[in-house]
Structures are given as structure tokens and as C-alpha cells.
Amino acid sequence: MIEQLLNLLNIEIVKVILAAVIMVAVTLLHVAYLTYAERKIIARMQQRLGPNRVGPRGLLQPFADMLKLIFKEDVIPKAVDKPTFWVAPFISLVCAGAGVALIPIWKNFVLSNINVGLLFILALSGLGSYGILLAGWSSNSRYALLGGLREGAQVISYEIAMSLALLSVVLMAGSFNLGDIVNAQLNSPFKIYLIPQIIGFFVFMISAVAECNRTPFDLPEAEQELVAGYFTEYSGMRFALFYLAEYAGMIVMSALAVTCFLGGWAGPFDIPYIPFFWFFLKFYFILFCYIWIRATLPRYRYDQVMGLGWKILIPLGLANVFLTAIFKLIF
Amino acid sequence: MNWDLVIFYYLAFAMVISSILGVLSNNPIYTVLLVLVMIVHQAFLLLTLGSEFLTAIQIIVYAGAILVLFLFVVYLINLRKETTRSIFVRRCSLALIIFLIFFGMFFTNLMLVFRNKPFIQAYLPFNFNEKASDVWWIANYLFKNYLLQFEIIGVILLIAVLGSVFLIRKVKSINN
């Protein structure tokens, strides 16, 4: 019976679906525990205890939060534009999370090995801004609209800088495929692109923080000015979807930084039976830096955010592309 | 069942329907969204032709940049419902003429396709699956065969950028 079923379905398809389901589960777990880690780390940095009631050391806190959000009433204000109000959180989450499929976790494991993986991640992050813009508009509220507008402008500006930083990586590696980029790094003299592309890494990390709307660039959701920004009118599970999207975006950006600048799955020596050890080590380090930045820095003013993006990061990125091209020509 | 054909017809119908709905919609935000749906389908049409690069570029440039700017404009002038229909109706005759010209071209070409000698024919100068990835082919053609045209486009875009900066400057000086 089962054999017939397996014959009926193509084995390859079953494998891909299984891998995708595992990947989604792992990503969601990461998202859940990222919120826990963030609260715990920031608490330690501010000499507090952080969540410590649910389960040992508060380890079950994310599940408690999730249950609370699922069972909360889903309030939809009367004056909202319903179709866009419904669809906006999903656009946000899907576009933020789908990038995970393109990241090579270890040498032989990447869910979707396409030729232009890097461009695809950029395209997804470009589409992600629709979710936020639409959420802001459809809420029919001043705070949400302003938050959405700020977010849209910020994402568009920083996407240019990020693309430029990644473009110099593509120039060095000679490929848009993320697996090929890692392999090219391993064949380069420094083994990682962090050293020759230090400017690119700097530009990329700052724009990645801005893309994910994290402090110090969390203008769109600045509590003191805009209540909660574009998701002011959302509640319950829909609110949680935006929350998930933010953390999924962080995960994709960190994984992208590891893949493009820190040598992906490779490490100084192989760990037997755990091929993804080095990838996750670097990945957690970058996530820790995200949290660290949030605990340390105050928020920028809006014109400072825009000025940083357009007047510093984009020229730096362009200069970096130019330098990389010249070095590539000479050597 | 020929899945390629099914997918093609789905994409084609979705594109046509979303374009028509986009034109007919009264709400500017919905128009932009329907155009977004159209563009995403168009990108996947390119994917079925084997060009991943063009798919990604289509989404990045049109959906990720141009349409977002459209959305911004709609936001900033804050139109809940379209109030400027009369302008469109007044210029209806012009639109009709342009439509007739294009429809005539399309129709004659369609007739010639049935007789197997079309005068407008889409073709690719290379085979995507032949040697390298499509990125390699496109770069090769852009920077070898069509370098001059490519540079001219670059200059035109630069002029557009300078023009927009110039416009902003002018507005500022009037305000002062």
C-alpha cells in the first residue's frame, strides 16, 4: 500500500516537501527562541533577570506567548480596508521567511539551488515592503500610515546600499549562486570575504539592520511617536505574524551575511557528524550582534537615518564596487 | 497532461485578467496591487522560458522599486477613491486611436502567424540551456554585441536622475 503510494508520488518530490517542512519547522523554532534569547540577553545587559517563570529558566516562554497570541481576540476595526488588511501580514511573513530556502546550510544541503539565489533574496526583501506599506494604508489610522510610509522609504533606500555591498561579493565570486559564492570564498587567499570586503561587510550589516527595522533604525515602530507604527491596529495572531516576519527577516539576513562574507558552512576544521556546526556558530554570533546593537544604541532621528543611507552607505558601496572591480582586473 | 501548457495558460490568463481589473478598478491602491499581481505573473512567465535572472530582475526592478514608488505617490496625494475620472474620459479619443493602432498591428500579425509568416517575431539569439547560465549569456550580449546601446541607456538614465534633482532644486528656490 505504502509502496504503491510512494510509486505514485515521485520520490524526489516527497523528499523536497519533507525537507521544506523540516526547514519551516526549524525556522519557526529559531524565530520563537530568538525572541526568548533577545529578552534574556537584553535583560542581562540591563541587569535584570528576563523571563524566568514559564518552565526552567523561562525556556517555555515563547510557547506561552504564542498561545496567548493565538487565543486573543482578533479585532478588526470597522473602517479598515478589509482585503488588504487581511493579506498584508501574510505578504510580510512569506517574503521575510522564504529566503531561508535559498541558503546553503552545509555543503550538500540547500533547499532550492537556483542560479540567481542572491538576487532572489533581494527580490523577496523588496516585495516584503508591500506588506508593511499595505498594513499602514489599510489600517486607516494616522499612526499606521506614517509608520508605513517611513518603513517604505527606509527599506527602499537601504536596499540600494545592501545590493551594492552584495554586488561586490558577486563580482569577487563571479556567481549569483550562494553555494558557488561559498566555494569561491574557500578558494580565495583569505578563505573568507570578510577581510577583502570589509567595507562591503560594514555596509551590508548596517543596511541589514535597517532592513529589519531593528534599533537603532526602528523608526517605523517608534513607540514614543507612532504608538506601534504600521501594526498599531492589528491584534492577536495578525499582530504576531508581523512580529514573526521581523524575526524571520533577521534570520535570513544573518544567514546571508554568514554565506556571503563569513565563509558559509566552512570552518577551521571539520566537526564529525555535524556538518552544519560552523554555519550555526557564525549565524548565532551575528544574531547575538543584532541583539547587542539593540541593547546598546539609541534610536536615530529620521533625517539622520535617511542621510546615513543616501549620503554615506550608498557612496561607500559604490566605491567598494569600483575598488573590487579594479582589484579583480589587476589580480 | 502537458503541464507546461497548463502553466502558460494560467499565467497568461491571470496577466490579462489582472491587467483588465487594474484598469477598471476605482481604487488607486487596488490598481497598483493588481499591476503587482500582473508583474509577478510576468516574472514567472520568464521563469518558464528558463531565465532565472530576468525573473529576479523583473521582480526587483518593477515590483520592488517602481511600483513601490507608485504606491508612495498614491499615499502622498491620499486618494481614497479615484476622483479624476473626467480627465481620462476627456482624452478617450486619443486612447482609442492608440488602441486601434496597436490592435491593428496585433491583429495583422496574428493573421500572418496563421499563414506562418509573422513580421514581428520574438526570438532569443541564444539557447539558455546550451552552455552557461542565462546571466552569462545576457552579460555577454550586453557588453559585447550591444555595448553602445547599453551605454546610451545608462546616459539616458543619468539624465533622468539629474532632471529629477534639478526639479527639486527649482521648487526649493521658489519657496525661499
Q: What is the full DSSP assignment across A118-166?
A: HHHHHHHHHHHHHHHHHHHHHTT-HHHHHHHHHHHHHHHHHHHHHHHHH
Give B56's contacts in chain A (Cβ within 8 Å): 116, 119-120, 122-123
pLDDT at B84 over 60: no
Q: What is the pLDDT of residue A56?
A: 84
Helix (H, G, I), strand (E, B) or coil at A106: strand
The rounded percent of chain B whose pLDDT value lies above 90 is 13
* Range with top average pLDDT, A160-169, B113-122, B166-175: A160-169
Alpha helix positions (H), chain B:
3-24, 28-48, 52-58, 67-77, 85-90, 92-114, 134-140, 147-175
Helix (H, G, I), strand (E, B) or coil at A269: coil
Disruptive mutation site among A10, A114, A163 for chain B (greatest number of B CBs within 10 Å): A114
Q: What is the pLDDT of residue B38?
A: 92
Query: Which residue range(s) make up the domain with B8?
Result: 1-83
Q: What is the pLDDT of residue B152?
A: 94
Q: What is the pLDDT of residue A212?
A: 82
Give B36's contacts in chain A (Cβ within 8 Å): 130
Query: What is the rounded end-to-end Cα distance, in angstroms, of chain B?
Result: 69
Q: What is the pLDDT of residue A10?
A: 65
Question: Do residue B67 and residue B98 come from a single domain?
Answer: no
A156/B71 Cα distance (integer angstroms): 12
Q: What is the pLDDT of residue B159?
A: 94
Q: What is the pLDDT of residue B166?
A: 84
Residue of B nearest to A132 (CA): B68
Question: Which residues are within 8 A (CB) of A310 and not within 5 positions of it... i.e. 6 or more apart?
Answer: A157
A138/A89 Cα distance (integer angstroms): 11
Question: Do residue B9 and residue B45 come from a single domain?
Answer: yes
- For residue B56, give the nearest of A81, A123, A137 by CB distance: A123
Helix axes A314-330, A198-211, angle to 10 degrees: 150
Question: Do residue B34 and residue B44 come from a single domain?
Answer: yes
Asked if residue A227 lies in contact with residue A143, where contact means CB atoms within 8 angstroms, the answer is yes
* Confidence band of B48 (pLDDT split at 50, 70, 90): confident
Disruptive mutation site among A82, A119, A146 for chain B (greatest number of B CBs within 10 Å): A119
pTM, 2 dp? 0.83
Helix (H, G, I), strand (E, B) or coil at A109: strand
Last residue of a domain, one of B83, B104, B139: B83
Q: What is the pLDDT of residue B86?
A: 59
Question: Do residue B77 and residue B131 come from a single domain?
Answer: no
pLDDT at B134 over 60: yes
pLDDT at B131 over 80: no
Question: Do residue B79 and residue B128 come from a single domain?
Answer: no
Question: Do residue B100 and residue B73 come from a single domain?
Answer: no
| SS3 letters across A184-229 | HHHHCCCCCCCCCCHHHHHHHHHHHHHHCCCCCCCHHHCHHHHCCH
Q: Are the Cβ atoms of B133 and A153 closer than 8 angstroms?
A: no
Question: Do residue B148 and residue B94 come from a single domain?
Answer: no
* Confidence band of B125 (pLDDT split at 50, 70, 90): low
Question: Do residue B97 and residue B68 come from a single domain?
Answer: no
Q: What is the pLDDT of residue B56?
A: 87
Asked if residue A84 lies in contact with residue A134, where contact means CB atoms within 8 angstroms, the answer is yes
- For residue B75, give the nearest of A84, A119, A149 by CB distance: A149
Question: What total of structural domains would you count in chain B?
Answer: 3
Q: What is the pLDDT of residue B173?
A: 59
**Shortest distance, CA A163 to any CA of chain B (angstroms):** 11
Read off the C-alpha cell for A22.
523540516
pLDDT at B153 over 90: yes
At position A285, the amino acid (one-letter code) is: F
At position B57, the amino acid (one-letter code) is: I
Closest CA to A167 of A219, A204, A130, A127: A204
pLDDT at B155 over 90: yes
DSSP letter assigned to residue B81: S
Question: Do residue B11 and residue B79 come from a single domain?
Answer: yes
Give the rounded distance of the alpha carbon of A282 from its chain centre.
15
B126/B144 Cα distance (integer angstroms): 14
Spans of chain A below 50 pLDDT? none
DSSP letter assigned to residue A273: T
Give A129's contacts in chain B (Cβ within 8 Å): 64, 68
Closest CA to A230 of A92, A153, A137: A137
Question: Which residues are within 8 A (CB) of B162 and not within 5 positions of it... i.e. 6 or more apart?
Answer: none
Q: What is the pLDDT of residue B22?
A: 86
Buried b (16+ CB within 10 A) or exposed e, A230-249: bbbbbbbebbbbbbbbbbbb
Q: What is the pLDDT of residue A215?
A: 75
Q: Using omega within 30 degrees of 0 as the cis cutoff, is the peptide bond preceding A216 cis?
A: yes
Question: Do residue B79 and residue B3 come from a single domain?
Answer: yes
Average pLDDT on B106-115 reads 79
- Chain B residues within 8 angstroms (CB to CB) of chain A: 29, 33, 36, 52-53, 55-57, 59-60, 63-65, 68-69, 71-72, 75-76, 133-135
Tell me, what CATH number does B59's domain have? 1.20.120.1200
> Can you tell me the ipTM of this complex?
0.79
Question: Do residue B32 and residue B61 come from a single domain?
Answer: yes
**Does the CA dihedral A123-A311-A222-B30 come out positive or negative?**
negative
B65/A123 Cα distance (integer angstroms): 10
- For residue B59, give the nearest of A84, A126, A148 by CB distance: A126
**Shortest distance, CA B40 to any CA of chain A (angstroms):** 10
Q: Are the Cβ atoms of A122 and B36 closer than 8 angstroms?
A: no
Question: Do residue B68 and residue B101 come from a single domain?
Answer: no
Read off the C-alpha cell for A240.
504576531
Q: What is the pLDDT of residue B157?
A: 92
Quote the mean pLDDT of chain B: 80
